[in-house]
Amino acid sequence: MDDSVHSRTRAQAAPGTQTLNFTLNGEPRTLEVAPNAVLLDVLREQIGLGGTKKGCDHGQCGACTVHVDGQSMNSCLRLAVMCEGQHVTTVEGLARDGELHPIQQNFLECDAYQCGYCTPGQMMSATALLNDERVGTDDASVKEAMSGNICRCGAYKNIVEAIQKSRQQLSYDATQKEGTA
Protein backbone atom coordinates (compact mmCIF):
# COMPACT_ATOMS: atom_id res chain seq x y z
CA MET A 1 0.00 0.00 0.00
CA ASP A 2 1.17 3.50 -0.67
CA ASP A 3 2.72 4.92 2.46
CA SER A 4 0.72 8.10 2.43
CA VAL A 5 -2.55 6.16 2.57
CA HIS A 6 -3.42 4.87 5.98
CA SER A 7 -6.38 3.98 8.09
CA ARG A 8 -5.71 6.57 10.79
CA THR A 9 -6.34 10.22 10.23
CA ARG A 10 -5.73 13.68 11.53
CA ALA A 11 -7.92 15.41 14.04
CA GLN A 12 -9.19 18.47 12.30
CA ALA A 13 -11.23 21.32 13.65
CA ALA A 14 -13.54 22.88 11.09
CA PRO A 15 -15.22 26.22 11.69
CA GLY A 16 -18.26 26.18 13.93
CA THR A 17 -17.40 22.97 15.74
CA GLN A 18 -18.47 21.95 19.22
CA THR A 19 -16.52 20.19 21.92
CA LEU A 20 -17.57 16.61 22.61
CA ASN A 21 -16.46 14.69 25.69
CA PHE A 22 -17.25 11.00 25.67
CA THR A 23 -15.71 7.61 26.38
CA LEU A 24 -14.73 5.49 23.39
CA ASN A 25 -13.84 1.84 23.96
CA GLY A 26 -13.04 2.64 27.56
CA GLU A 27 -10.87 5.68 26.87
CA PRO A 28 -11.96 9.26 27.57
CA ARG A 29 -11.94 11.42 24.44
CA THR A 30 -12.34 15.11 23.73
CA LEU A 31 -13.03 16.13 20.16
CA GLU A 32 -14.10 19.15 18.19
CA VAL A 33 -17.02 17.98 16.03
CA ALA A 34 -19.29 19.70 13.56
CA PRO A 35 -22.84 20.01 14.86
CA ASN A 36 -24.14 18.16 11.79
CA ALA A 37 -21.55 15.38 12.08
CA VAL A 38 -23.04 11.93 12.54
CA LEU A 39 -21.42 9.59 15.06
CA LEU A 40 -20.67 7.07 12.28
CA ASP A 41 -18.73 9.63 10.24
CA VAL A 42 -16.87 10.95 13.26
CA LEU A 43 -15.76 7.42 14.12
CA ARG A 44 -14.70 6.60 10.57
CA GLU A 45 -13.38 9.90 9.27
CA GLN A 46 -12.36 12.01 12.23
CA ILE A 47 -11.15 9.40 14.73
CA GLY A 48 -10.06 6.88 12.10
CA LEU A 49 -11.82 3.83 13.49
CA GLY A 50 -13.04 2.20 10.28
CA GLY A 51 -14.48 -0.94 11.84
CA THR A 52 -17.93 0.63 12.13
CA LYS A 53 -19.33 0.45 8.60
CA LYS A 54 -21.53 2.65 6.46
CA GLY A 55 -24.01 0.55 4.51
CA CYS A 56 -27.00 2.81 3.93
CA ASP A 57 -26.46 5.92 6.04
CA HIS A 58 -30.00 6.01 7.28
CA GLY A 59 -30.75 3.32 9.75
CA GLN A 60 -31.83 0.57 7.42
CA CYS A 61 -28.99 -1.95 7.25
CA GLY A 62 -27.38 -2.18 10.70
CA ALA A 63 -23.76 -2.17 9.47
CA CYS A 64 -23.00 0.85 11.67
CA THR A 65 -24.23 -0.70 14.93
CA VAL A 66 -22.31 0.36 18.05
CA HIS A 67 -23.11 0.27 21.76
CA VAL A 68 -24.03 3.53 23.46
CA ASP A 69 -24.13 3.07 27.22
CA GLY A 70 -24.49 -0.66 26.60
CA GLN A 71 -27.42 -0.39 24.14
CA SER A 72 -26.99 -1.30 20.49
CA MET A 73 -27.69 1.68 18.23
CA ASN A 74 -27.32 2.70 14.63
CA SER A 75 -24.45 5.17 14.75
CA CYS A 76 -25.64 6.68 11.44
CA LEU A 77 -28.81 7.93 13.14
CA ARG A 78 -27.03 9.68 15.96
CA LEU A 79 -25.37 13.06 15.87
CA ALA A 80 -21.97 12.90 17.47
CA VAL A 81 -22.84 15.73 19.86
CA MET A 82 -25.63 13.57 21.32
CA CYS A 83 -22.93 11.32 22.79
CA GLU A 84 -21.76 13.91 25.34
CA GLY A 85 -20.81 12.04 28.52
CA GLN A 86 -21.76 8.66 27.07
CA HIS A 87 -19.84 5.43 26.70
CA VAL A 88 -19.49 4.28 23.11
CA THR A 89 -18.17 0.84 22.20
CA THR A 90 -17.24 -0.10 18.65
CA VAL A 91 -16.04 -3.38 17.14
CA GLU A 92 -12.49 -2.23 17.89
CA GLY A 93 -13.41 -2.43 21.56
CA LEU A 94 -14.62 -6.04 21.50
CA ALA A 95 -11.27 -7.82 21.70
CA ARG A 96 -9.47 -7.44 25.03
CA ASP A 97 -5.70 -7.67 25.53
CA GLY A 98 -5.26 -9.16 22.07
CA GLU A 99 -7.79 -11.93 22.81
CA LEU A 100 -10.77 -12.15 20.50
CA HIS A 101 -14.15 -11.80 22.18
CA PRO A 102 -16.06 -15.11 22.12
CA ILE A 103 -18.42 -13.70 19.49
CA GLN A 104 -15.43 -12.88 17.25
CA GLN A 105 -13.91 -16.31 17.81
CA ASN A 106 -17.18 -18.01 16.96
CA PHE A 107 -17.73 -15.86 13.86
CA LEU A 108 -14.27 -17.03 12.76
CA GLU A 109 -14.92 -20.69 13.47
CA CYS A 110 -18.48 -20.80 12.09
CA ASP A 111 -17.50 -18.81 8.97
CA ALA A 112 -20.27 -16.38 9.93
CA TYR A 113 -19.39 -13.87 7.19
CA GLN A 114 -18.19 -13.60 3.65
CA CYS A 115 -17.14 -10.12 2.58
CA GLY A 116 -16.98 -9.06 6.24
CA TYR A 117 -18.54 -5.65 5.73
CA CYS A 118 -21.73 -6.16 7.75
CA THR A 119 -19.83 -8.27 10.28
CA PRO A 120 -18.93 -5.62 12.88
CA GLY A 121 -22.56 -4.54 13.01
CA GLN A 122 -23.74 -8.14 13.26
CA MET A 123 -21.36 -8.77 16.17
CA MET A 124 -22.30 -5.56 17.99
CA SER A 125 -26.00 -6.43 17.73
CA ALA A 126 -25.25 -10.01 18.75
CA THR A 127 -23.31 -9.06 21.87
CA ALA A 128 -26.10 -6.67 22.85
CA LEU A 129 -28.84 -9.24 22.40
CA LEU A 130 -26.93 -11.87 24.39
CA ASN A 131 -27.18 -9.45 27.33
CA ASP A 132 -30.80 -8.54 26.64
CA GLU A 133 -33.18 -10.54 28.76
CA ARG A 134 -36.12 -9.47 26.60
CA VAL A 135 -34.81 -11.57 23.69
CA GLY A 136 -35.60 -15.28 23.82
CA THR A 137 -32.78 -17.77 23.52
CA ASP A 138 -34.26 -19.88 20.69
CA ASP A 139 -33.12 -19.50 17.06
CA ALA A 140 -36.36 -17.84 15.96
CA SER A 141 -36.05 -15.14 18.63
CA VAL A 142 -32.42 -14.53 17.71
CA LYS A 143 -33.30 -14.25 14.03
CA GLU A 144 -36.08 -11.80 14.78
CA ALA A 145 -33.84 -9.70 17.02
CA MET A 146 -31.02 -9.73 14.47
CA SER A 147 -33.22 -8.72 11.54
CA GLY A 148 -32.04 -5.12 11.67
CA ASN A 149 -28.64 -6.32 10.45
CA ILE A 150 -28.65 -7.15 6.76
CA CYS A 151 -26.03 -9.53 5.37
CA ARG A 152 -26.28 -9.39 1.58
CA CYS A 153 -23.82 -12.27 1.29
CA GLY A 154 -26.52 -14.25 3.10
CA ALA A 155 -24.39 -15.84 5.82
CA TYR A 156 -27.37 -15.77 8.18
CA LYS A 157 -27.29 -19.46 9.05
CA ASN A 158 -23.69 -19.30 10.22
CA ILE A 159 -24.25 -16.01 12.05
CA VAL A 160 -27.06 -17.52 14.12
CA GLU A 161 -24.89 -20.57 14.81
CA ALA A 162 -22.02 -18.32 15.98
CA ILE A 163 -24.37 -16.35 18.27
CA GLN A 164 -25.80 -19.49 19.82
CA LYS A 165 -22.36 -20.98 20.36
CA SER A 166 -21.28 -17.75 22.04
CA ARG A 167 -24.34 -17.86 24.27
CA GLN A 168 -23.36 -21.30 25.50
CA GLN A 169 -19.77 -20.24 26.14
CA LEU A 170 -20.69 -16.97 27.82
CA SER A 171 -23.22 -18.65 30.12
CA TYR A 172 -20.61 -21.35 30.82
CA ASP A 173 -18.08 -18.64 31.66
CA ALA A 174 -20.60 -16.91 33.90
CA THR A 175 -21.28 -20.19 35.72
CA GLN A 176 -17.56 -20.77 36.19
CA LYS A 177 -17.10 -17.28 37.60
CA GLU A 178 -19.95 -17.77 40.05
CA GLY A 179 -18.46 -21.10 41.05
CA THR A 180 -15.06 -19.59 41.83
CA ALA A 181 -16.40 -16.45 43.50
Partner 1 sequence: MNDMTQPNVVGQRTPRIDGEFKLTGHAGYTGELHADNMLYGYPVSATIANGKLESLELDEARAMPGVVDIFHHGHFETLHRSPNSMAHGDMVNEVRLPFEDERIYYHGQYVALVVAETFEQARAAAQRVIARYTKMSGATAGLLQTDAEGELQESSGTSRGDPEAAFGGAEVKVDSTYQIAAESHLQMEMHATLAEWHDDGQRLVVHESTQGVFFQRNAMARVFGLAQENLEVISHYIGSGFGNKLFMWPHAVATTVAARMTGRPVKVVLPRQQDMSSGGNRPASRQRIRLGADRSGKLTSVIHDSTTETSLVHQYVDGCGSATPSFYACDNVSTSQRVLEVNHGTPCPMRAPGEVSGIFALETAMDELAVELDMDPVELRLKNNAELDPASGLPWSSKHLDECLTSAAKRFGWENRNPAVGSMRDGDEIIGYGMASCTWSAGRQPCEARVELRADGSLFAACGTQDIGTGTYTIVAQAVAELTGADLSRIEVKLGETSLPAGPLSGGSMATATVLPAVAAAVRDALDAIKEVAIGSGGAFEGSDADSLSAEAGCLTDGNRRVSFEEVLETSKLSSVNGQGSAAPGNEQNEYAFRSFGAHFVEIRIDPEISRVRVARVVSSIDIGRAINPPTARNQVEGGIVMGVGMGLLEKLDYDPRDARLINANVADYIVPTHADAPEIDVELLDYPDFKHNEFGGRGVGEIGLTGVAPAIANAIYHATGKRYRDLPITIEDLLAAD
Reported for 83-88, long-range contacts at CB under 8 A and 24+ positions apart, including other chains, are 83/20, 83/22, 83/39, 84/20, 84/21, 84/22, 85/21, 85/22, 86/22, 86/23, 87/22, 87/23, 88/22, 88/23, 88/24, 88/25, 88/39
In angstroms, give the least distance from the CB of 178 to partner 1: 28
Range 5-24, binding partner 1 (CB under 8 A): 5-10, 12, 14-16
Which of 81, 130, 155, 166 binds partner 1 (CB under 8 A)? It is: 155
Binding segment (CB under 8 A) for partner 1, from list 1-9, 67-75, 130-138, 166-174: 1-9
In angstroms, give the least distance from the CB of 168 to partner 1: 19
Question: How many other CB atoms are there within 10 angstroms of residue 32's CB atom?
Answer: 15
Nearer to partner 1, 10 or 134 (CB): 10
* Helix, strand, or coil (residue 63): coil
**Interaction of residue 100 with partner 1, rule CB under 8 A:** yes
Which of 107, 127, 164, 165 binds partner 1 (CB under 8 A)? It is: 107
Report yes or no: 70 and 124 within 8 Å, Cβ to Cβ. Answer: no
Range 24-53, binding partner 1 (CB under 8 A): 34, 36-37, 41, 44-45, 48-53
